[in-house]
Chains A and B, each alone.
Chain A
């Protein structure tokens, strides 16, 4: 009875050890896959955020604050890639997830910023057009008035001149 219990216990320990031996590489490979996926997602989110910031910048939006945050995210992505290279997959996945979070936040903020910039641009464009139309009108009216004044004065002076007979 005692020996059968001992056999059962030994078999259980052996099975558990075997299970651990099989599971550990699977788990390590799983961590590597998760980290690799997180890093590629982080890279994608960084590129999306950068493209969005570049678009906002070309529309004359103030992107300085976004660039500072994107810079922090880029540093995290570097850390993630370097941790992955030395086999620290958990750390790599953590850094990569933080990067993605910032990247997606920036993409959303840029969308809002672009709407604000577009609205501001419409208002300022109208202002510029109105100022230009007013300026052109003033110049045209002043030119016509000036021209008629000059013409009148010129012919008045001409009529006062005495003809010279040689």
Chain B
């Protein structure tokens, strides 16, 4: 019988201890901090003129305005300071390498800087136009473009791609984020772009 009473007492003590911890939990939460669960990442997307992932421009001519929507989503767990570089290249110039965190060395023609709270998204319309382009032999030279009505000289040439029948250029967007530890922006391993065929 004494053993049975001790069992009751143990159950009573355990129950009381659990209730004490429950009552003290608000105060304990001031001291103990729990690590954030879940993955930290950023989204980068490009949509066509009708604000959907379709109707991307492909066959373009000089003087033709193309419309896109560029978006970024922040899921880093805190507010982030982003920078998107707009770049224009031909088929032989390098793209960024997301695996080795290396951006493309091509100079940017336009940029967007913005801050986003955790869980928020940013989206902006982008209008792009090739202003001056000329064919010289088997290559096409694009001399100037405009992004959101701002004109930039580019001097980008592309040789005739006989396999795909066209002069191919790519407009792409690199996502960078400010790194407080390094006190600088760094490539965030994300980029999106559209191919443009200048024979269309």
Interface residues of A (CB under 8 A from B): 46-47, 50-51, 53-54, 57-58, 63-64, 67, 70-71, 74-75, 77-78, 81-82, 85-86, 125, 128-129, 131-133, 135-136, 138-140, 143, 146-147, 150-151, 154, 158
Contact = CB atoms under 8 A, between A and B. Distances in A.
7 contacts: A46-B113, A47-B81, A50-B81, A67-B115, A67-B116, A85-B152, A125-B30
Contacts of A129: 27, 30
B178 interface: yes
Interface in B30-61: 30
A136 B180 CA distance: 42
A82 B111 contact: yes
Question: Closest 3 A-B residue pairs measured CB to CB?
Answer: A135-B23, A132-B27, A143-B16
B30 A78 contact: no
A53 to B, nearest CB: 6
Contacts of A132: 23-28
A135 B24 contact: yes
Contacts of A147: 9, 12, 16
Interface residues of B, number: 36
A86 B114 contact: no
Label chain A's interface by main secondary structure.
helix
Contacts of B26: 128, 131-132, 135
Nearest to B86: A82
Nearest to A134: B23
B92 interface: no
Contacts of B27: 128-129, 131-133
Interface in B61-79: 78-79
Contact of A128 (B5, B30, B115): B30
A136 B23 contact: yes
Interface of B: 1, 5, 8-9, 12, 15-16, 19-20, 22-30, 78-79, 81, 110-117, 150-153, 178, 180, 183
A46 B27 CA distance: 37
Contacts of B29: 128
Contacts of B153: 86
B112 A78 contact: yes
Given A131-B26, A132-B23, A135-B24, A74 B113 contact: yes
A41 to B, nearest CB: 16
A139 B79 contact: no
Contacts of B111: 78, 81-82
Contacts of B115: 50, 53, 67, 70-71, 74
Contact of A54 (B12, B114, B180): B180
A144 B6 CA distance: 16
A138 B23 CA distance: 9
A53 B79 CA distance: 8
Contacts of A54: 78-79, 180
A139 B81 contact: no
A133 B25 CA distance: 10
A53 B180 CA distance: 12
A51 B12 CA distance: 51
B16 A140 contact: yes
A67 B117 contact: yes
B113 A136 contact: no
